Structure 1
Amino acid sequence: MTEQDDWEREFDHRWANSAEHKEPSARARMLAARWKDNPPAPAPFRADPDPVPHRASWASTAVVFGCVIVVMVLLAVVQLSSAS
């Protein structure tokens, strides 16, 4: 046999997927054993995370305007110092 034949025989996914019995993964077996005695509480699909406290919109606006004013003042100082 050639090396290509060995490769195809070793990694024959069609044969593996056509198996009648498929063993569950280790995680699935672990969760099944854990949930056998203590099942999880029901949860909605893609439940919303805990609500985030809402900050006042004026605070964000004040920070942005403050940064813009600081940049304008710095640019004016640099321009005045280079003109002298």
Structure 2
Amino acid sequence: MSERDDEEREFDLRWADGAAHKEPSARARMLAARWKDNPPGPVPFRAEPEHRGSAGRSSWVSTVVVLGCVVAVIVLLGYVNFGRY
């Protein structure tokens, strides 16, 4: 791109950003139409967890599984490279 193209593009971006009316996105229009007839109920900022104990255990299990896979890949790659020498 030439420097002139960059200047024209910058001008277009400033012009677009300075527009008095900005059209909402398609998702915003869809939600506005849906909520016009059936508004959503109040939602708490942060929902209460339903199963506090099992969620804590599952996160540890997930962590152990991921770390185990990483270790297995490292060992496998080390074994493959060791076999070449």
- TM superposition score normalised by structure 2: 0.50
| Separation in structure 2 between the aligned mates of residue 8 and residue 53 of structure 1, nearest angstrom | 56
Counterpart residue number, 1:7: 6
Counterpart residue number, 1:42: 42
Larger radius of gyration: 1
Cα–Cα, structure 1 residues 36 and 8, in superposed 2: closer, same or farther, change >3 Å? same
Higher helix proportion? 2
State the Cα deviation string for residues 29-63 of structure 1 (Å, max 9, x = none).
Answer: 00001001011111122x225411525xxxxxxxx
Counterpart residue number, 1:51: 50
| Separation in structure 1 between the aligned mates of residue 38 and residue 4 of structure 2, nearest angstrom | 49
Give the paired residue count. Answer: 53
1:5, CA displacement in angstroms? 1.7
| Separation in structure 2 between the aligned mates of residue 14 and residue 48 of structure 1, nearest angstrom | 41
Percent identity over the alignment?
57
Alignment root-mean-square deviation, CA: 2.2
| Separation in structure 2 between the aligned mates of residue 5 and residue 54 of structure 1, nearest angstrom | 62
Which consecutive unaligned segments of at least 5 residues does structure 2 have? 55-85
- TM superposition score normalised by structure 1: 0.50
